[in-house]
Chain A
């Protein structure tokens, strides 16, 4: 499926169809990350259940240095 991830168009393999699989796909499963799909924040407990769909706009964000 095609999604927009952090501003880039990406094509995901068919089996990557949930938030937890997406994080694993990008080796982010152990990182402190927050996921937003179509401007809705996804709570960690919902990572497994939350299905991705074609055309989703996904943001994966983190804390970086700042003042």
Chain B
């Protein structure tokens, strides 16, 4: 169970809704993934063109919690504007704060992220900031009162997986709020790795939507998440440099 603010979710997987090959594949992938929290972006409607089908409008909204993001924002003020637009839909009060500070790496702007988080907390939002893997920044965000910390594993959409497990481990250990590893996840092994580090959840998009078979990959990441979580709860063995025999060293035949 994953608890964010006062909400409880049976799935620890948060799924992005961007860049699927088709709505039909997307629907099946969402279904198979078992994710309950789905992220969305806020954009202008294409009102001057033939109306395009909209995934959200085809979704059974009683089954899912919407997590809109503030993607596109480069300042705290822009993020707040997008968050308020999202909330005015009447469909959600959670917001993924995403304030990008660098166009090439899409890494978040730490100062604007902190500012936006504070402003949105004051407005009564449930605030989940997407942040870098900076341990001190994560602490500062938690001190503000954010409802979850979402450090990136590596740059958005890069599929590079977890490039700084030590920092993520530090963030997980220090945080009293859920830590959801967001961005950069490439494959099921990265999901399992994040969960074995003790993460409370994983948010991914391209790892599924960009896979050759997104529906199969959705199932793979769901299972990897469960395996990683179980492994974390079971408590893994200590790593050692040299071998430790598994079989008895006494009673050897012919000794």
Question: Does any Cβ of B come within 8 Å of A14's Cβ?
Answer: no
A67 and B16 contacting across the interface, CB-CB below 8 Å: yes
A-B contact pairs, 19 of them (CB 8 A): A26-B47, A28-B47, A31-B45, A31-B51, A31-B54, A32-B57, A33-B45, A41-B84, A44-B90, A59-B44, A60-B47, A62-B43, A63-B40, A64-B40, A64-B55, A65-B20, A66-B41, A67-B205, A67-B206
Mask for A27-61, Cβ within 8 A of B = 1, else 0?
Answer: 11001111010010111100000000000000111
CA distance A32 to B43 in the complex (A): 12
Residues of chain B at the chain A interface (Cβ within 8 Å): 16-20, 26, 39-45, 47-48, 51, 54-57, 66, 68-69, 71, 81, 84-86, 88-91, 156-157, 183, 203-206
Question: Does any Cβ of B come within 8 Å of A13's Cβ?
Answer: no
CA distance A28 to B46 in the complex (A): 11
CA distance A39 to B57 in the complex (A): 25
Residues of B within 8 A of A8 (CB): 48
Contacts A32-B57, A67-B156; A62 near B88 (Cβ below 8 A):
no
A4 to B: closest C-beta gap in Å:
12
A34 and B57 contacting across the interface, CB-CB below 8 Å: no
> Assuming A63-B66, A64-B40, A65-B16, what are 19 further A-B pairs, CB within 8 angstroms?
A6-B48, A26-B47, A27-B51, A28-B45, A34-B86, A41-B85, A61-B42, A61-B43, A61-B45, A62-B56, A63-B40, A64-B41, A64-B42, A65-B40, A66-B16, A66-B39, A67-B41, A67-B156, A67-B203
Q: Which of B26, B56, B90 has a CB less than 8 Å from the CB of A63?
A: B56
A27 to B: closest C-beta gap in Å:
7
CA distance A65 to B27 in the complex (A): 12
B206 to A: closest C-beta gap in Å:
7
Residues of B within 8 A of A64 (CB): 18, 40-43, 54-56
B129 to A: closest C-beta gap in Å:
15
B30 to A: closest C-beta gap in Å:
11
A58 to B: closest C-beta gap in Å:
10
CA distance A26 to B48 in the complex (A): 8
A63 and B54 contacting across the interface, CB-CB below 8 Å: yes
Residues of A within 8 A of B17 (CB): 65-67
Chain A residue at minimal CB-CB distance from B56: A63
CA distance A43 to B89 in the complex (A): 9
Contacts A39-B81, A62-B42; A31 near B57 (Cβ below 8 A):
yes
Residues of B within 8 A of A27 (CB): 51
Question: Does any Cβ of B come within 8 Å of A16's Cβ?
Answer: no
Residues of A within 8 A of B205 (CB): 66-67
B19 and A65 contacting across the interface, CB-CB below 8 Å: yes
Contacts A6-B45, A43-B88; A67 near B55 (Cβ below 8 A):
no
